[in-house]
Structure 1
Amino acid sequence: MERIEHRACFGGWQDVYRHRSTVLGCDMHVAVYLPPQAALEAVPVLYWLSGLTCTEQNFITKAGAQRYAAEHGLALVAPDTSPRGEDVADAEAYDLGKGAGFYLNATVAPWSQHYRMYDYVVDELPALIEAHCPVTDARAISGHSMGGHGALIIALKNPGRYRSVSAFSPIVAPSRVPWGEKAFSAYLGDDRGAWKAYDATELVKTAGEKLPLLIDQGDADEFLHTQLRPDLLKTEADAAGHPMILRMQPSYDHSYYFVASFIGEHIKCHAAALRGR
């Protein structure tokens, strides 16, 4: 891991690393915030997955999360949202290709060569972070929009791997909304049966662990009724007896102003789960 940014922040350090990803076949950037407690002991980790068009920079510069991570003694790890590089397939659209990895393993060419963000986030990245940073294997996961989708499906598909999960404005039913249908058709092909493996509304029906889901959603979000549809996940979670808290927040939209307003509450919840309180 090559450190390319190193900045003091709330008594800790906000770093950005570059590393070669074997899974993705390209160089990747990942942001790592280490709180002041990490100078004395290994600390738990909250993984953050960002949304469409984002890089590792959006969360660390806009969410204000470092303040709360320092307060609760958590590391924050925020990877890029897709593979990058001149030989990585792309599309002339913000919602497909670079910046739009959707946290799945693509099976259709040309995407299948590099777009394996699911394996990267679940396996390769934690192994790298735990080998090179003063962190424990106590993990939580969260994200926004496309990243909220990623956090939910990764937690639901990996019982025992994460101690808590939350999401802001997540795409909960990608098989049934335009963003997901476009991406899944390209990355996974036309067999909608294969899409179910990356759809939270399907996974919650048979999840091997009933890890509580915490979701914040702004009721003034411009994508609420067309792309996000949290009501669909709430219906399936209730039917499956899966604990879920859906908080509709009045007047908030899809932006990082929304994330910044509630990230402190999410980090507090994750800290309690990670430290067994």
Structure 2
Amino acid sequence: MERIEHRACFGGWQDVYRHESAVLGCTMDVAVYLPPQAEKERLPVLYWLSGLTCTEQNFITKAGAQRYAAEHGVVVVAPDTSPRGDGVADADGYDLGKGAGFYVNATQAPWSSHYRMYDYIESELPALVEANFPVTDARAISGHSMGGHGALVVALKNPGRYRSVSAFSPIVAPSQVPWGEKAFTAYLGDDREAWKQYDAVELVKGAQEKLPLLIDQGDADEFLHTQLKPQLLREACEAAGHPLTLRLQPGYDHSYYFIASFIGEHIAHHARALKP
């Protein structure tokens, strides 16, 4: 992994690394925040998955997470949201193609050549992080919007891999909203049964591990009623007896102002779960 950015931040280092991804078949950038404690000990890791149109830069420049990561001694890893490069398929619009990987393994051409973000997040990236940085195998995962969807899906599909999971404004039922229907049709085809493996509402129904879900959602979010529909997850969790804390935050929208307002509480939540 080649370090391409290195900046002092809250006593630690906000770095960005570039590496060749065998899973995605392209070069990827990933942000890694190493708090000051990393100079002396191995630390747990919080993986952050960003939303539509984002790269690894949005979270590290807008969320203010480094302050809390330094306070709690947590490494934060924030990858890009899709494969990149001249040979990678793309589409017009912001909600399909580059910047819109949806954290699935595409099965349909031309997307299947590179768009395997699920495998990248679930296996390749953690293996790289654990081989190259002073970290333990204690993991947590979180994300926003499309990335919130990704965090929930990856955690629910991998019992025992993560100590905790949270999300901001997640797409909880991509099979039932326009963003997800467009992306899943392109990446996975028309068979809606195949979509269920990447749908948190569906996964909760048969989850092998009752990992508590923490979700913050702004009640002034412009996508609340059309794309996010958190009530669908609440209903699924109630039916399955799956622990869910869903907090509807008055006045907040879909932006990073919302994330910055509550990221400290989320990192504290993960830090408690990540303690030995």
Answer yes or no: same fold by TM over 0.5. yes
- What is the count of residue pairs matched by the alignment? 276
1:125 corresponds to which residue?
125
Aligned identity (percent) is 82
What's the offset of the Cα at 1:93? 1.1
Q: Distance in 2 between matches of 1:134 and 1:12?
A: 13
Q: Distance in 2 between matches of 1:224 and 1:266?
A: 20
**3-state DSSP class of the match of 2:205?**
coil
**Counterpart residue type for residue 126 of structure 1:** P
Q: Distance in 2 between matches of 1:208 and 1:4?
A: 40
What's the offset of the Cα at 1:72? 0.1
**3-state DSSP class of the match of 2:254?**
coil
2:22 corresponds to which residue?
22
What's the offset of the Cα at 1:208? 0.8
2:47 corresponds to which residue?
47
TM-score by structure 2 length? 1.00
What's the offset of the Cα at 1:55? 0.0
What's the offset of the Cα at 1:59? 0.1
Unpaired runs of at least 5, structure 1: none
2:116 corresponds to which residue?
116
2:198 corresponds to which residue?
198
What's the offset of the Cα at 1:128? 0.2
The runs of 4+ residues in structure 1 deviating greater than 6 Å are none
2:257 corresponds to which residue?
257
**3-state DSSP class of the match of 2:246?**
strand
**Counterpart residue type for residue 76 of structure 1:** V
**3-state DSSP class of the match of 2:93?**
coil
1:58 corresponds to which residue?
58
Q: Distance in 2 between matches of 1:201 and 1:270?
A: 22
**Counterpart residue type for residue 55 of structure 1:** T
**3-state DSSP class of the match of 1:141?**
strand
Q: Matches of residues 117-266 of structure 1 in structure 2 within 5 Å?
A: 117-266=117-266
Deviations 1:41-82 (A, max 9, x none): 000000000000000000000000000000000000000000
Q: Distance in 2 between matches of 1:11 and 1:205?
A: 43
Q: Distance in 2 between matches of 1:134 and 1:161?
A: 18
Q: Distance in 1 between matches of 2:29 and 2:114?
A: 15
**Counterpart residue type for residue 257 of structure 1:** Y
**Counterpart residue type for residue 169 of structure 1:** S
**3-state DSSP class of the match of 2:179?**
helix
**Counterpart residue type for residue 69 of structure 1:** A
Deviations 1:244-272 (A, max 9, x none): 00000000000000000000000000000
**Counterpart residue type for residue 54 of structure 2:** C
Q: Distance in 2 between matches of 1:122 and 1:67?
A: 26
Q: Distance in 2 between matches of 1:155 and 1:231?
A: 20
Q: Distance in 2 between matches of 1:130 and 1:23?
A: 17
Deviations 1:221-248 (A, max 9, x none): 0000000000000000010000000000
Q: Distance in 1 between matches of 2:199 and 2:130?
A: 28
Q: Distance in 2 between matches of 1:105 and 1:46?
A: 22
**Counterpart residue type for residue 88 of structure 1:** V
**Counterpart residue type for residue 118 of structure 1:** Y
Q: Distance in 2 between matches of 1:231 and 1:257?
A: 23
What's the offset of the Cα at 1:120? 0.1
What's the offset of the Cα at 1:207? 0.4
Unpaired runs of at least 5, structure 2: none
Q: Distance in 2 between matches of 1:3 and 1:144?
A: 25
Q: Distance in 2 between matches of 1:39 and 1:123?
A: 26
**Counterpart residue type for residue 121 of structure 1:** I
TM-score by structure 1 length? 0.99
**Counterpart residue type for residue 100 of structure 2:** A
**Counterpart residue type for residue 240 of structure 1:** A
